[in-house]
Amino acid sequence: MTSATHNPVWDLPIRIFHWCLLPGIGFMWWTGETGRMEWHSYCAYGLICLVVSRIVWGFIGSYHARFFHFLVGPKRIIQYIREPGEVTGHNPLGALSTIALLGLLLAQGLSGLFSVDDASFEGPLAYIADGDFIDTATEWHEVNWSLLQAFIALHLLAIAFYQFKRRQRLIQVMWFGSSETRQGAEPAKSSLLALVVLAAAAGCLWLAIAMAPEPPRWY
Ligand code: HEM
Ligand code: HEM
């Protein structure tokens, strides 16, 4: 009797990171639109730490998480568009989308730290910079959000296309972490290492916030 082989693709840290984004972004949207700024900022700190840790994991993480293994040059991208096949991990277009989404998520979080709203909330780093910078960051927070929404919509359409039209089981692989059909890579790196990276990111963010100057008093 033969049993299906499970080739490791997405390690646990990548999957936890990914599936936290869905409720996380939904919550940020709701709190941002309804002005629940305390909750908005706490959830944002969690997301910033997750995104920064994912970027670090892109250098030291498991095989398919590492940028050097999935980022390819224009030649390979064009070749993939001409002859698309099934790829273990991100395909060349998925790789571009990953970079765009990670970049936009980071920009959203960082611009938020310097943003102010029209009521009484200020991002914790707003008063490191001058008024012009705060205005630019606040504006960018809004523009970047529109870009992020567009890229998330594109991401969902692309996933639906590969999943249902091309019949590639991307969602199952992102959920279970392994593929029964594709060749796997080296074993996953320790999730404990990812936890250390996350704790370091949280420590740095906490230090930056704790050291930031207080907002000016208007009275
Ligand atoms: C707020 C919503 C979402 C955001 C911001 C988001 C973001 C991302 C990011 C950044 C990656 C790259 C993962 C990495 O390498 O770290 C990714 C991959 C992926 N996402 Fe999402 N995602 C979202 C929602 C969803 C949903 C709802 C699904 C499906 C039901 C989904 C399915 C996938 C799959 C299957 C991959 C792997 C793609 C591949 O094989 O190349 N995502 N997503
Ligand atoms: C990934 C992280 C973040 C996401 C997805 C996000 C998302 C959003 C959204 C959807 C809005 C409403 C935008 C609109 O009305 O057009 C908003 C507004 C706002 N966010 Fe964030 N945000 C993030 C991080 C942060 C952080 C870290 C802070 C500060 C601690 C922050 C502070 C603000 C402020 C002050 C506003 C109101 C700006 C205004 O009134 O124009 N955000 N954010």
pLDDT tens digit at each of 219 positions of the chain: 344 567 889 999 999 999 999 999 999 999 999 999 999 999 999 999 999 999 999 999 999 999 999 999 999 999 999 999 889 999 999 999 999 999 999 999 999 999 999 878 999 999 888 889 999 999 999 999 999 999 999 999 999 999 999 999 999 999 999 877 656 567 889 999 999 999 999 999 999 999 988 776 655
90: alpha, beta or left? (left if phi > 0; alpha if psi -120 to 50): beta
96 is a domain residue: yes
Residues spanned by the domain of 39: 19-211
Total domains present in the chain = 1
The confidence score (pLDDT) of residue 175 equals: 97
Residues with CB under 6 A from ligand 2: 25, 28-29, 32-33, 37, 40-41, 44, 47, 105, 108-109, 112-113, 115-118, 121, 123-124, 138, 141-142, 145
d(CA 207, CA 23): 26
143 is a domain residue: yes
98 is a domain residue: yes
The confidence score (pLDDT) of residue 182 equals: 57
d(CA 59, CA 65): 8
Q: How far is the CA of 209 from the centre of ligand 1 (A)?
A: 29
86 is a domain residue: yes
Best CA proximity match to 65, nearest among 177, 172, 157:
177
d(CA 23, CA 75): 36
Q: Measuring from atom 32 of ligand 1, which residue has the nearest CA?
A: 171
What's the CA dihedral at 197, 173, 157, 104 to 10 degrees?
Answer: 10
136 contacts 54 by C-beta, under 8 angstroms: no
163 is a domain residue: yes
180 is a domain residue: yes
40 contacts 28 by C-beta, under 8 angstroms: yes
Tell me if 101 CB under 6 Å of ligand 1: yes
Residue with tokens 């919509």: 153
The phi, psi pair for 50, rounded to 5°, reads: -65, -45
10 is a domain residue: no
129 is a domain residue: yes
d(CA 198, CA 189): 15
What global pTM score does this model have? Answer: 0.93
